[in-house]
A and B are shown apart, each in its own frame.
Chain A
């Protein structure tokens, strides 16, 4: 064991030696470096987050509660920009990691609420939507002209509600898969580091 400690001391000695093992960058080289684009996690998160927020807004544009949706979009958009501004690489490590994770939580929160609003809107309009779908299907099957069947004359049954629930589960799994492969991949390392710092 003593021998192993000596190795740590040996390393410490090597570490503090001012050897010329590293490239010494000139002022010109440093200048060209600071003109390059950054590839940081935060920037990636912000870009994906903003695209996502806009996509969720567009996807739900036809659904119920338009004012609620516009309000939510505005509030979350402001909060996401605010969260991004709070991320400073010069703060202590745990705060930096917490702030980055908060930015992602904010986007996730908006996605979740948007999704719920779409689901609720679908349930509210369920009878109408299903009737429309059934009427279209029947017209196609009987080779009749478009809109020949009056949707209001049809009534959805339990099986239709069941089909809706199955479709919902498939969509949730699909979304989960997308999230796992975007945020999951970007944040796995950061999350591990944050948890390691947090535990006492």
Chain B
């Protein structure tokens, strides 16, 4: 039995759930954590939904809430360390088999992104989503200029991680 508000939220959330998945993709490195973060973001979105006045697009608002939830969530250290070893092992196997493969390159890129700070992850994600600097600044609460500076630093940091392999 669901209320009108619940039905409305579920409809619009269902349409846009890929945004949440993408954020979980950047902020977690295994499917269990992905699902946990997805669940937490969904709860936070639902809790904040009555305050959504439609001043911005639903997808923009969803982006803001999801990113904030990912950046302020309690970290689960143990699981991360355990999984990190697993990922490195499978990564080595892939390296032997298909070295120049695009799939391998992408996996490697995601692995590098995962080692960035939370803020850098957010910046790289907004770069991938082609968000304008004005919007990036608005989401993070910093100036457009500062967003540009931070974005360049994040990109350079990611590049140096790739170069260091």
- B138–A7 contact, CB under 8 A? no
Residues on the B chain within 8 Å of A38, using CB: 40, 43-44, 47
Stretch of A52-60, A111-119, A173-181, A191-199 lying at the B interface: A191-199
Which of B67, B72, B158, B163 is close to A42, meaning CB atoms less than 8 Å apart?
A: B72
Residues on the B chain within 8 Å of A36, using CB: 39, 43
A4 to B156, CA, bound (A): 11
Residues on the B chain within 8 Å of A30, using CB: 10, 13-14, 17, 42
- B117–A196 contact, CB under 8 A? yes
Nearest A-chain residue to B161, judged by Cβ: A4
Q: Is A143 an interface residue (CB 8 A)?
A: no
Q: Is B99 an interface residue (CB 8 A)?
A: no
- Per-residue CB proximity of A23-44 to B under 8 Å, as 1/0? 1111100110110111111101
- B42–A96 contact, CB under 8 A? no
Nearest B-chain residue to A24, judged by Cβ: B17
Residues on the A chain within 8 Å of B40, using CB: 38-40
Q: How many residues of A contact B (CB 8 A)?
A: 49
A196 to B65, CA, bound (A): 19
Q: Is B73 an interface residue (CB 8 A)?
A: yes
Q: Is B85 an interface residue (CB 8 A)?
A: no
Nearest B-chain residue to A196, judged by Cβ: B119
Which of A10, A11, A26, A193 is close to B71, meaning CB atoms less than 8 Å apart?
A: A193
Which of B10, B73, B109, B141 is close to A11, meaning CB atoms less than 8 Å apart?
A: B109
Residues on the B chain within 8 Å of A80, using CB: none
Given known pairs A192-B117, A197-B119, A200-B146, the reply for A8 and B105 (CB within 8 Å) is no
Interface residues of B (CB under 8 A from A): 2, 6, 9-11, 13-14, 17-18, 21-22, 25, 39-40, 42-44, 46-48, 51-52, 61, 64-65, 67-69, 71-75, 102, 105-106, 109-110, 117-119, 122, 127-129, 138-142, 146, 149, 155, 158-159, 162-163
5 tightest A-B CB contacts, nearest first: A92-B141, A94-B141, A22-B21, A34-B46, A15-B128
